[in-house]
């Protein structure tokens, strides 16, 4: 358990209530399988190793640290003391030996990040500090400490740098395409890493309701009296299951430019994990230790990730994922299902649907004289 009055780096740390401590915990304990598989895929991306090695030597990390030191407020016993207590307690619970420096930056946009190449730095904005209560903020601090323990800060820093670089070289077609390929892969990995960090935040806060409240506030602001957790989770259900194949495609297009998953999706994923047997086993003290990390097979982790993806696709209510599952299962009439799914793009009923008393042959129904060629194609929804 997290002790009242335990010592951490020479400072007394007194958490507001007792929480279980996970001594020697491995980040594998809370990492989402999709996080690990996306990182493996990222490392296999052509040119990534070259870019990674180059940027590791070129990125001005010292300048980054000096920037926060000079233009933000460093959390300590003397400044934002309540955040300092949360940070030390989070590091104690996840057994992170070296407490990373934390800064509060003036920004009305609620946000937090863990960046840095050699050593992680945690930054939270004033908008986030003012939005969340103590227990909600504790989950966020645990979220960022989870990023630090998993080693996510390095890739997050490179993503920020490449995103800015892509904007600067947008006028160079081939240069921009090469950079955006890596940025897209980095974003895909980072969205999955956020699910892992949400789990770490729950392990630190050990209060699912606080984690849910924090996510709701990120979506709807400081109006908890106007919001409801169950209704919020119903939105995630509707988002996943609603619409047709067109909506599935639009979901992908909406997601690609984002670094974070949609908030309702994060809430639903976290709740599902909190109710799982895996989470209960962790809380009972049964979890992987860092001492076992060297013995872990990368191929085994990848197979576990692939199995999780397959299960998610099979159980998904998304129309596109259902179609993928049916293809894998050898279901018939897939062509008709695809046409029906995308029928709304051209407007009207799908072409394979006819009235019951229609006696024409398929050749008659698809005759060029009955369906003259179109001069233009229908436009996709934005």
103 close to 75: Cβ distance less than 8 angstroms: yes
How far apart CA 139 and CA 151 sit, in angstroms, is 18
H/E segment holding residue 113: strand 112-115
User: Do 139 and 211 contact (CB within 8 A), yes or no?
Assistant: yes
> In the structure encoding, which two tokens stand for residue 234, read together?
């119903």
Contact call for residues 205 and 138 (beta carbons, < 8 A)? yes
**Could you give the CA distance from residue 215 to residue 221 in angstroms, rounded to a whole number?**
10
Length of the chain equals 382
How many angstroms separate the CA atoms of 189 and 362, rounded? Answer: 47
In sequence order, the 6+-apart residues with CB closer than 8 A to the CB of 76 are: 84
Question: What are the structure tokens assigned to 366, written together?
Answer: 């698809």
| Closest C-alpha to 151, from 297, 36, 306, 267 | 36
Confirm if 77 and 88 have CB atoms less than 8 A apart: no
CA 227 to chain centre: 23
Q: Which residues 6+ apart lie within 8 Å of 158 measured at CB? A: 51, 52, 55, 59, 186
Please give the radius of gyration of the chain, using alpha carbons only, rounded to the nearest integer: 24
Q: Rounded CA gap, 194 and 198, in Å? A: 6
Catalytic residue among 31, 144, 188, 240: 144
Distance separating alpha carbons of residues 353 and 351, to the nearest angstrom: 5
144 is catalytic: yes
Rounded CA gap, 51 and 41, in Å? 15
Residues designated as active site: 144
């Amino acid at each position: 358990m997290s002790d009242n009055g335990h010592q951490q780096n020479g400072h007394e740390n007194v958490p507001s209530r007792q929480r279980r401590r996970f001594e020697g915990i491995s980040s594998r304990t809370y990492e989402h399988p999709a996080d690990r598989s996306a990182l493996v895929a990222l490392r296999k991306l052509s040119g990534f190793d070259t870019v990674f090695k180059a940027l590791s030597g070129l990125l001005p990390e010292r300048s980054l640290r000096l920037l926060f030191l000079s233009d933000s407020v460093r959390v300590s016993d003397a400044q934002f003391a309540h955040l300092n207590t949360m940070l030390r307690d989070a590091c104690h619970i996840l057994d992170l030996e070296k407490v990373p420096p934390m800064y509060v930056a003036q920004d009305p946009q609620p946000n937090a990040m863990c960046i840095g190449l050699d050593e992680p730095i945690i930054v939270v904005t004033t908008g986030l500090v003012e939005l969340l209560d103590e227990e909600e903020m504790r989950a966020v601090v645990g979220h960022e400490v989870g990023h630090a323990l998993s080693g996510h800060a390095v890739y997050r820093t490179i993503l920020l740098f490449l995103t800015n670089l892509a904007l600067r070289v947008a006028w160079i077609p081939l240069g921009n395409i090469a950079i955006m390929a890596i940025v897209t892969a980095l974003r895909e990995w980072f969205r999955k890493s956020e699910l892992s960090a949400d789990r770490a935040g729950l392990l630190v806060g050990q209060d699912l309701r606080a984690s849910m409240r924090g996510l709701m506030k990120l979506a709807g602001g400081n109006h908890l009296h106007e919001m409801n957790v169950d209704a919020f989770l119903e939105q995630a259900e509707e988002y996943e299951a609603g619409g047709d194949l067109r909506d599935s495609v639009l979901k992908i297009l909406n997601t690609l430019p984002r670094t974070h998953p949609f908030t309702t999706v994060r809430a639903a994923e976290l709740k599902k994990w909190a109710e799982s047997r895996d989470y209960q086993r962790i809380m009972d003290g049964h979890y992987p230790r860092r001492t076992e990390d060297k013995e872990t097979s990368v191929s085994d982790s990848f197979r576990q990730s692939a199995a999780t993806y397959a299960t998610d696709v099979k159980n998904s209510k998304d129309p596109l994922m259902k179609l993928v599952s049916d293809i894998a299962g050898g279901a018939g009439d897939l062509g008709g299902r695809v046409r029906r799914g995308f029928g709304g793009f051209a407007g009207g009923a799908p072409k394979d649907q006819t009235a019951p008393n229609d006696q024409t042959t398929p050749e008659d129904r698809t005759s060029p004289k009955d369906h003259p060629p179109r001069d233009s194609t229908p436009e996709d929804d934005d």
